[in-house]
């Protein structure tokens, strides 16, 4: 068997206090997590539980205070070159058109511009943006910008996809559309995915496995649930099946107290 795509071993991240006299903040403590090659794993948890911190560690953007990261059996140092990262916030370059954004990664790798353009055009139509390549970002809707971001990452064919609440800002219909499209793209060419969300339904409907995190600070996984629903799935329809509801109830049982805790901490802060 080949090495797992991602192994997080005893990861802790402590940040220095933001003001003098403040307390250092431990976002996550002793987190161990393994993602198999081609596996779609969602990480859910209450607001402020350090989900993004884990993703930044896996991406190599953040060095953990303790613990280690292995990517396909190799210890990670520096940026994770095998990973594509889809950020929660707008991350595209607004001074570039849609197609120039999709081409950016190829341009950085020194690939011939003509070929880059051909491939970017292909990817734009694959994410449903045929003919919109020359639009600037402010001319596109939020959903379209997410599609551009997706194409920008997938064109580089990363083996690992890191997604930080990528569809959080979208309306429900657009969101389900994007979820289905992501699943279709993923099934065609299975990468390992770490999908961060606070939406349990989204997590269950898309993943092979759901990891539940405790409320922060010093957040850690408190439950893992395999999702053995059949694929291909339609994220809207699958939510109505009894199997889905059973899994949802089981996970929610574990999550409820943590969400409540997270909410109270949020209120206090």
Partner 1 sequence: MSGHDTLPPLWRLNVYRLALFVAAMLGWHVLTQSKILPPFFFGEPLKVFAQIWKWFSSGSIYPHLAITLLETMLAFFGGTLLGLVAGLWLGLKPTASALLSPYLKALNSMPRLILAPIFAVWFGLGLWSKVALGISIVFFLVFFNVYHGVREVNPVVLANARMLGASKRQLLRMVYVPSAMTWVFASLHNAVGMAFVGAVIGEYLGSVKGIGYLILEAEGIFDINAVLGGVITLTLFAYGLDMIVTWAERRLLRWQPN
Could you list the residues that contact partner 1 (CB under 8 A)? 59, 61, 79, 81, 83-85, 87, 89-97, 104-105, 107-109, 136-138, 152-153, 156
The DSSP output letter for 111 is -
By three-state DSSP, how is residue 256 classified? helix
Give exposure, 194-226, as e/b (b: 16+ Cβ within 10 Å).
bbbbbebebbbbbbbbbbbbbbbbbbbbebebe
Residue 79 vs 260, nearer CB to partner 1: 79
Residue 103 vs 212, nearer CB to partner 1: 103
Residue 149 vs 259, nearer CB to partner 1: 149
Residue 156 vs 236, nearer CB to partner 1: 156
Shortest spacing between CB 150 and partner 1, in angstroms: 12
Residue 50 vs 84, nearer CB to partner 1: 84
Shortest spacing between CB 262 and partner 1, in angstroms: 23
Q: Are 84 and 158 in contact (CB under 8 A)?
A: yes
Q: Is the dihedral of CA 131, 149, 70, 33 positive or negative?
A: negative
Q: Are 5 and 160 in contact (CB under 8 A)?
A: yes
Shortest spacing between CB 185 and partner 1, in angstroms: 18
The DSSP output letter for 92 is S
Shortest spacing between CB 95 and partner 1, in angstroms: 4
By three-state DSSP, how is residue 161 classified? strand
Shortest spacing between CB 161 and partner 1, in angstroms: 11
């Amino acid at each position: 068997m080949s090495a797992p795509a991602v192994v997080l071993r005893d990861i802790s991240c402590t940040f220095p206090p933001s003001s003098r006299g403040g307390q250092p903040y431990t976002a996550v403590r002793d987190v161990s997590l393994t993602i198999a090659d081609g596996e779609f794993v969602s990480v859910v948890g209450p607001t402020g539980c350090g989900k993004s911190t884990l993703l930044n560690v896996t991406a190599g953007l953040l060095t953990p205070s303790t613990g280690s990261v292995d990517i396909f059996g190799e210890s990670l140092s520096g940026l994770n070159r095998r990973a594509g990262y889809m950020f929660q916030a707008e991350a595209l370059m607004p001074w570039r058109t849609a197609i120039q954004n999709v081409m950016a990664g190829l341009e950085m790798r020194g690939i011939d511009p003509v070929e880059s353009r051909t491939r970017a055009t292909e990817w734009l139509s694959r994410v449903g943006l045929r003919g919109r390549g020359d639009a600037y970002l402010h001319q596109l809707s939020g959903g379209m910008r997410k599609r551009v971001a997706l194409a920008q990452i997938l064109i580089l064919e990363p083996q690992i996809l890191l997604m930080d609440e990528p569809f959080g800002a979208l309306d429900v219909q657009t969101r389900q559309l994007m979820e289905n499209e992501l699943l279709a793209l993923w099934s065609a060419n299975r990468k390992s995915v770490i999908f961060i969300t606070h939406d349990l339904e989204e997590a269950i409907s898309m993943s092979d496995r759901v990891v539940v995190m405790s409320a922060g600070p010093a957040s850690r996984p408190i439950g893992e649930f395999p999702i053995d629903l059949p694929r291909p799935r339609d994220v809207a329809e699958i939510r109505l099946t009894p199997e889905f509801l059973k899994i949802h109830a089981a996970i929610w049982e574990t999550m409820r107290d943590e969400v409540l805790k997270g909410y109270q901490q949020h209120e206090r802060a």
